[in-house]
Amino acid sequence: MINQYDILETIRMIQNDCLDIRTITMGISLLDCIDPDIEKACKKVYDKITCKAKDLVSVGVQIEKELGIPIINKRISVTPIAMISAACKCSPVPFAKAMDEAAKAVGVNLIGGYSALVQKGFSEGDLDLINSIPEALACTERVCSSVNIGSTKTGINLDACRIMGDIIKKTAEATKDKQCFGAAKLVVFCNAVDDNPFMAGAFHGVGEPDCMINVGVSGPGVVRAALKKYPDADITKIADVIKTISYKITRVGQLVGKMASERLGVEFGIVDLSLAPTPAVGDSVAHILEEIGLEQCGTHGTTACLALLNDAVKKGGVMACSRIGGLSGAFIPVSEDAGMIDAAVAGTLSIEKLEAMTAVCSVGLDMIVVPGDTEPDTIAAIIADEAAIGMVNTKTTAVRVIPAIGMKEGDELDWGGLFGKGPVMPLKTKSASKFINRGGQIPAPLHSLKN
Amino acid sequence: MRAIVTVIGKDAVGILAKVSTECANYNANVIEVTQSVIEELFAMIMLVDISKINIDFADMADRLAKKGEQEWGLKVLAMHEDIFNCMHHI
């Protein structure tokens, strides 16, 4: 029989330390739904999603009960809609509505892929989609949108940064009666990945198979609980403890993904080796960093601790699953992490520190509430800064900031649930308009002569 | 196919009998049991063969948990052994 201490450890991880599978995401290709008639195309999109994902939620619930581990989200990602809608030559908002309806029909809480990839320039379809984002996110509930504006190989599309600064502001304004929630479902990427299972940035890349299952694991609470047992260990030991626990967490992700793919008859893609926090007590990445030895997340030393955490999570997880992918690493969304929220309210965690942290962690400036009167060009400049970190370091970075329309520093947006709440964080007030409005392409960086 | 049934709660007469009777109702065969009582807290781990059970395992886990909570005042967790094997064996 399995060792009883191992059994009790697993149970403790799930019952006390918030171990869960964060998401099973089904990626669905919509390339076979292209049609110049938008009504026909939307019907094909709805039909394909509801056909492929009809059992996704029930299979997820069944696995959850059999293994005794919560699977928090069942979600869907689709081919970037700009590629599907381009043939229609009109506003692609009906596609967002079709996605929303399909998501409701199969019972998933979010569907990603209202996206465009414009790292090197725009096609007409891309521009139509980008310009429709504020309306699409305001008139749907479950649709998530993302735009890739740069990559290490292509450089950064500065025109796209400028446009997205404007679109983020407009999206927040279009949903200001819902706590500007639209902007929380919109991500701007550099080096976006094709197989990301996490929202709001998930889309199903064009090189992917017709349909596949990707899994995102979680478990910040488990890592923190493991570290608690070693209050005086040196930092090498801390890295080892994180690796061990990350291995165990990821093994469960691999098992769940394998079971889901077998039962759904869909190919198993990747496990995203992630530490994804929630606002729940005991499920915070910031608290892991504090357990390592910081008085509060955001103080000096935070970047080093996060670098160690991120690296150890990957090293532990990489052996635990057959294929890794997605964003893989520790997420630092401010509003979705109790420790980050406290640190931001206390003023210990600033946007500048968050930017530095994004150079060594999973993604980027995530779920940050900024003043409502922030100029679109300032948001564009934040995007450009973040994209530059991703471009130069050959990693994915992203920006998901939420302008709190009508609010200023000291106020707060509160969405509840997994999205949490966030204080308005101050930004620099000097303008970057001239830089942003120059437009053009920041050339791809040199990858030799490194220093 | 095997599952691990873990029972945690205040010690009382007949816990093992109740849980194993319930398992028998589903035609689940108890293979091995370890139990300990630490300071009045009862902890039991059962290895159960579920290859011939007469209901869906997810339902069985649900019913055991509900019965534990509502009738016995115990926390009863039935989990497929795969989750323990994958986590603790390479």
Predicted pLDDT of residue A141: 96
Task: Give the residue with greater pLDDT, A276 vs A113.
Answer: A113
Are the C-beta atoms of residues A42 and A81 closer than 8 Å to each other?
Answer: no
Q: Confirm or reject contact between B71 and chain A (CB < 8 A).
A: no
Q: Confirm or reject contact between A234 and chain B (CB < 8 A).
A: no
- What's the pLDDT tens digit per position in A373-419? 999 999 999 999 999 999 999 999 999 999 999 999 989 999 988 89
pLDDT exceeds cutoff 70 at A1: no
- What's the pLDDT tens digit per position in A187-222? 999 999 999 999 999 999 999 999 999 999 988 999
Predicted pLDDT of residue A375: 96
State whether CATH 3.20.70.20 applies to domain A25-56+73-190: yes
Predicted pLDDT of residue B4: 95
Q: Nearest-CA distance from A368 to chain B in Å?
A: 35
Q: Helix or strand or coil: residue A412?
A: strand
User: Which member of B31, B34, B85 has the closest CB to residue A4?
Assistant: B34
How many residues appear in chain A? 451
Contact across the interface for A65 and B34, Cβ inside 8 Å = no
Shortest CA distance from A256: residue in chain B: B83
Backbone angles phi, psi at A278, to 5 degrees: -130, 165
Q: How far apart are CA A320 and CA A331, in angstroms?
A: 20
DSSP string of A340-381, one letter each residue: HHHHHHHT-S-HHHHHHHHTTSSS-EEEEEEETT--HHHHHH
pLDDT exceeds cutoff 80 at A225: yes
Average pLDDT, chain A: 95
User: Which member of B43, B58, B86 has the closest CB to residue A254?
Assistant: B86
Shortest CA distance from B34: residue in chain A: A4
Predicted pLDDT of residue A262: 96
Predicted pLDDT of residue A359: 95
Contact across the interface for A7 and B84, Cβ inside 8 Å = yes
Name the amino acid, one letter, at A330. Answer: A
Predicted pLDDT of residue A448: 81
pLDDT exceeds cutoff 70 at A232: yes
Q: How many CB atoms lie within 10 A of CB A171?
A: 27
Domain with CATH 3.20.70.20 in chain A: 25-56+73-190, 217-435
Q: Confirm or reject contact between A5 and chain B (CB < 8 A).
A: no
pLDDT exceeds cutoff 90 at A281: no
Q: Which fold has domain A217-435?
A: Anaerobic Ribonucleotide-triphosphate Reductase Large Chain (3.20.70)
Output B62-66 pairs: Cβ under 8 A, ≥24 positions apart: B62/A65, B63/B22, B63/B26, B64/B5, B64/B19, B64/B22
User: Which member of A2, A4, A69 has the closest CB to residue B81?
Assistant: A2
Specify the CATH number of the domain B2-88. Answer: 3.30.70.260
Predicted pLDDT of residue B37: 82
pLDDT exceeds cutoff 80 at B38: no
Residues 6+ apart with CB under 8 A from A340: A277, A284, A285, A286, A297, A332, A333, A334, A349
Predicted pLDDT of residue A248: 94
User: ipTM score here?
Assistant: 0.89
Structure tokens at A293: 């030895």
Q: Confirm or reject contact between B33 and chain A (CB < 8 A).
A: no
**Mutate which: B60, B87, B90, vs A, most A CBs within 10 A:** B87
pLDDT band at A2 (very low <50, low <70, confident <90, very high): confident
pLDDT exceeds cutoff 90 at A450: no
Query: Mean pLDDT over residues B69-81, rounded?
Result: 93
Q: How far apart are CA A133 and CA A76, in angstroms?
A: 19
pLDDT exceeds cutoff 90 at A163: yes
N-to-C CA span, chain A? 54
Query: Mean pLDDT over residues B40-54, rounded?
Result: 91
pLDDT exceeds cutoff 90 at B42: no
Contact across the interface for B57 and A66, Cβ inside 8 Å = yes
Q: Confirm or reject contact between B61 and chain A (CB < 8 A).
A: yes
Name the amino acid, one letter, at A121. Answer: G
Q: What angle do CA A231, A329, A331 make, to 5 degrees?
A: 85
Are the C-beta atoms of residues A154 and A122 closer than 8 Å to each other?
Answer: no
